[in-house]
Amino acid sequence: MSARNFYIDPSRCIGCQSCVQACSECDTHRGQSMINFDFIDRPESIGSAAYVCFHCEDPTCAEVCPADAIKKGIDGIVQSALDPRCIGCSNCVIACPFGIPKMKVAQEQMMKCDMCYDRTSADLKPMCATVCPSQALTFATPEEIARTRREVPTNVFYFGDQKVVTKVMMMVPADVEAMSVDVVDYMWEPQS
Amino acid sequence: MTRKKPDGSEPLWRDEFSVRAEDERLVTRRQFAKFLTLTSVAMAAGNLWIVVRAWLRKAPEYPRVTVASIGEVPIGGVKLFNYPTPNDPCLLVRTDEQTHVAYSQVCTHLSCAVFFNGESERLECPCHRGSFSVADGSVIAGPPPRRLSRVVLERRGSELVAVRMEV
């Protein structure tokens, strides 16, 4: 296993989508990108965010899978749904607090980022981190990150009452210890 | 997530269908294929070992035992003897002036003792009515699966000597 870890910093994302392209060039899922790429507020902002699976310690996607198709390996990487088991129910897609799993309807299988475990197990960078020009997606040691960034990494997230600890680190301001995401706060509500 | 019961234990289904690959106790296809392959290899090696052992096995040595003297047994008469060990009953039949034949007395069906029936001129087993040819010991009727073991006799002067068994 690699001594390096994955760091995501959406504030560095310039929206070039190199990661999306690099991911889709992988032989294991050629033509299908596992990067989750979003424009934050397209009409008002140029802000964009590319992110990969956070590989939770207790992966919600796997917890809710009725077919026992999603497995977390000893390397801590949560894999795509096993092809012979996945029934295409989309429970994982709905359950994941980060919105990572992607349902491939044509092949009736959920596929998601597996952090290029074929590369990372050989201590190579994942495809996306290899190409990201602004290093919004970085595969580096904690020392390198501490030396080169103002932000600090965290891997603790709160979604309402659910605490999620992840393998992938999110860069946050130095005074923030854990990301708290109040999902309901972001939901559209009718103006009275 | 409400993962645990109030007493801290996890429900059985979660233990049996763990999210973590290393906790999975179900047999995977690869494990099953490996099991099949290794078992097949073991079976093949075992069979090979049996074949090699059969090749290497030496022919058993038989003692030379004097069974009877010429003229001791009348034509159509029988003499019982033990060959090759004292625990292997055999019988000698004189079928005509010149011919003596000898067979193991153990029926090849369920090991009852066969006897010579002078009327039918067959070796017969009383247990399940198996009968064998007196000429070569082959099965004529009944359940025995193979012929009687034959005792090979040699004539030494006026004596009949058992030399070996033909299984």
Residue B3 in any domain: the answer is no
Whole-number Å distance between alpha carbons of A50 and A133: 12
pLDDT confidence band for B161 (50 / 70 / 90)? very high
Taking only the tens place, the pLDDT of each residue in B66-92 is: 988 888 888 888 999 998 889 999 999
What is the total count of domains within chain B? 2
Whether residue B77 sits in one domain with residue B28: no
**Contact flag A59-B19 (C-beta cutoff 8 Å):** yes
**Contact flag B1-A73 (C-beta cutoff 8 Å):** no
- The structure's pTM equals 0.59
Selecting from B3, B17, B21 the residue whose C-beta is nearest the C-beta of A72 gives B21
Residue A45 in any domain: the answer is no
| pLDDT score recorded for residue B1 | 47
Instruction: Provide, as residue numbers in chain A, all residues whose Cβ is less than 8 Å from the Cβ of B24.
Output: 71
Measured in angstroms, the CA of A162 and the nearest CA of chain B are apart by 6
Whether residue B124 sits in one domain with residue B87: yes
Whole-number Å distance between alpha carbons of B110 and A103: 69
Residue A84 in any domain: the answer is yes
Instruction: Provide, as residue numbers in chain B, all residues whose Cβ is less than 8 Å from the Cβ of A79.
Output: 21
Residue B2 in any domain: the answer is no
Identify the H or E element spanning A108. Answer: none
CB pairs < 8 Å spanning A and B: 25
- Residue B31: exposed, middle, or buried by beta-carbon count in 10 A (0-12, 13-18, 19+)? exposed
**Contact flag A71-B20 (C-beta cutoff 8 Å):** yes
Mean pLDDT to the nearest integer, B26-36:
86
Residue A89 in any domain: the answer is yes
Segments forming the whole domain that contains residue A64: 53-112
pLDDT tens series, chain A, 192 aa: 578 999 999 999 999 999 999 999 988 888 899 999 999 888 999 999 999 999 999 999 999 999 989 999 989 999 999 999 999 999 999 999 999 999 999 888 999 999 999 999 999 999 999 999 999 999 999 999 999 999 999 999 998 888 999 999 999 999 988 888 877 777 777 776
